Amino acid sequence: MRRLKNLILFTFILLAANGSIAQTRLTLHDAVERTLKNNFDIRIAEIASEQAATNNTVGNAGFLPNINAGVAATESRTNVRSDLANGTQQNNPKAINTNINPAVTANWTLFDGGRMFVVKKQLSAIEALTAIQLKLQAQSSVSRTIQMYAQLVLLQRQMVAIDTALHLARARMELSEIKYQSGAGAKIDFLQAKVDYNARRADSLSFISGYAQACDSMSVLMGEQEGAWYRVDEVLPMNMNLQETNPSILPDVNLSLAVYKQNKNIAELNVDVARTYALPTLSVSGAYLYNRSTNATGFALFSRNYGGNGTVNLSMPLFQGGNIRRQTKVASLQAMREELLYERQNTIIKRQHRTARRNYEIAVQAWKLATEDMKFARENLDVQFARFKVGVGTTLESREAENAYVQTLIRLYSSEYNVKLFETQVLELENKLLSDK
């Protein structure tokens, strides 16, 4: 086994040396941490959550007044000639007139049919929605990272199985060659062993491309720009006794369902917002004005006035072309649609949970069976190799024993991958994935 591990390590080093990518040691814990820190989808969801939190203010809901300050200044230069009724005459070719108007205005809606209260609830609901979406995205990214890591482990162990087959084929080829040269065996046995050995070498090369693609996919999940050749753990931690969960609690714990439920709540608040447009609106406005004017000609050469004013405005929509009723109905239909979407997703999640749970249980049984088969395959291989070595067994029998051992080894590795895959899916659906990490 040590020879096989050294062979795999040598293969990794050879690939890293011949390629432009670096060899990197990667554990499952490191992969999850790097995904949570650098994954692009998670970072985008974080920004969306921050935006929603920033928008959730009483001012954005309409509770606070709007206060503005401004100033307007004008100046004119005119050529003035005036003959007045009292017989006097004004003649100024460069008459300068100025006017300055600073003002502070305030507008405050005191009552808008309760819309501001509903909008504030809506902003809080949207903030809660983006927080759930952030958790959902993080959990989904971690789930994909674990599954991709499990795939890397599977591929790496399959390469071990193939190299095991390569070692066995080489031993049979060398022994067949010795028996052929000594006259104790047929040449056809040596030729068949040579063909099998070269086929195993070809199998080793074919896995390199698939492993490189899996490494690239892992890099993308971890938000890394440069690709790397990852050397992962030889085995994965697996839970062979995953506790049964009552499907009735899924609507309370599943994050995907929580998103649909929150969308339904927001749609119901939209109905309340639409209804407020049929209610009266009470608002107040006020201003403090200042006006200063100078005139080079005329009766009033200078004037100034300042002071405040206020207005109370009450408006009641009586008829808006039926648009208020139309908007309310459209919002109600949207709420019904969100309700149906939630019910449909609830059905889908329960089906996915049943399927993932059933697949997990089958994968555990398959792993137990493959573990048991490994003992028989190993013993059968040792017996057949010993028989072939002393000339009792045939090449075909040895070849079949080798193939059976390698296939059993691959089946064992695949069953371990399936256990981890479906375990991850079950934990993700039950919202236990991140809490377990």
**Mean pLDDT confidence for 120-143:** 96
- 424 domain residue, yes or no: yes
Which tokens go with 153?
């482990």
Residues 30, 73, single domain; the answer is no
Residues 143, 230, single domain; the answer is yes
Residue 122's pLDDT is 96
Write down which residue in 262, 294, 315 finishes a domain: 315
- 285 domain residue, yes or no: yes
Residue 385's pLDDT is 65
Closest CA to 145 of 23, 41, 254: 41
Residues 369, 385, single domain; the answer is yes
Residues 303, 346, single domain; the answer is no
If 0-12 CB within 10 Å is exposed, 13-18 middle and 19+ buried, where does residue 76 land?
A: exposed
Closest CA to 420 of 233, 224, 227, 163: 233
Which tokens go with 298?
């005329």
Closest CA to 389 of 165, 175, 170: 175
**Euclidean distance between CA atoms 87 and 84, whole angstroms:** 6
What backbone phi and psi angles, to 5 degrees, belong to 212? -65, -40
Which tokens go with 195?
């063909």
Which tokens go with 316?
């009641």
With cut-offs at 50, 70 and 90, classify the pLDDT of residue 10: very low
- 353 domain residue, yes or no: yes
**Mean pLDDT confidence for 201-205:** 65
Lowest mean per-residue pLDDT among 7-16, 182-191, 310-319, 321-330: 7-16
Q: What pTM was computed for the model?
A: 0.80
User: Range of 104's domain?
Assistant: 66-111+281-315
The listed range with the strongest mean pLDDT (78-87, 235-244, 298-307, 375-384) is: 235-244
**Mean pLDDT confidence for 12-29:** 63
**Mean pLDDT confidence for 257-265:** 96
- 302 domain residue, yes or no: yes
- Strand-pairing partners, residue 96, are 77
Residues in contact with 32: Cβ distance below 8 Å, sequence separation at least 6, in sequence order: 142, 145, 146, 437
Residues 36, 142, single domain; the answer is yes
- 379 domain residue, yes or no: yes
Residue 225 or residue 437, greater confidence? 225
How many domains does the chain fold into?
2
Instruction: Give per-residue pLDDT as tens, 160-194.
Output: 767 666 666 676 666 666 665 666 666 666 566 66
Residues 137, 31, single domain; the answer is yes
**Euclidean distance between CA atoms 164 and 403, whole angstroms:** 11
Parallel, antiparallel, or unpaired for β 22-25 and 228-231? parallel
Write down which residue in 264, 290, 315 finishes a domain: 315
**Euclidean distance between CA atoms 382 and 171, whole angstroms:** 13
Which tokens go with 23?
């060899």
Residues 102, 228, single domain; the answer is no
- 328 domain residue, yes or no: yes
Residue 306's pLDDT is 85
With cut-offs at 50, 70 and 90, classify the pLDDT of residue 299: low
Whether 424 shows a pLDDT value over 80: the answer reads: yes
With cut-offs at 50, 70 and 90, classify the pLDDT of residue 95: confident
Residue type, 150: A
Residues 156, 45, single domain; the answer is yes
Q: How far is CA 278 from CA 318, 320, 330, 332, in A?
A: 8, 9, 15, 15
Residues 286, 406, single domain; the answer is no
Q: If you ran DSSP here, which 8-state letter would residue 249 be given?
A: G
Instruction: Give per-residue pLDDT as tens, 398-408.
Output: 666 767 777 78
Whether 1 shows a pLDDT value over 70: the answer reads: no
Lowest mean per-residue pLDDT among 8-12, 106-110, 117-121, 258-262: 8-12
- 435 domain residue, yes or no: no
**Mean pLDDT confidence for 27-39:** 93
- 434 domain residue, yes or no: no
Write down which residue in 297, 315, 333 finishes a domain: 315
Give the count of alpha carbons within 13 A of 323, CB side only: 6
**Mean pLDDT confidence for 240-256:** 88
CATH number of the domain within which 369 lies? 1.20.1600.10
Residues 54, 128, single domain; the answer is yes
With cut-offs at 50, 70 and 90, classify the pLDDT of residue 3: very low
Q: How far is CA 413 from CA 71, 139, 237, 355, 367, in A?
A: 78, 26, 13, 22, 8
Residue 146's pLDDT is 94
CATH number of the domain within which 309 lies? 2.20.200
Residue type, 269: L
Residues 99, 142, single domain; the answer is no
Mean residue pLDDT across the chain: 83
Q: What secondary structure does DSSP assign to 228-240, as a single string?
A: EEEE--SS----S
- The radius of gyration of the chain's CA atoms, rounded to the nearest angstrom, is 40
Residues 47, 188, single domain; the answer is yes
- Strand-pairing partners, residue 311, are 285
Closest CA to 172 of 410, 399, 405: 399
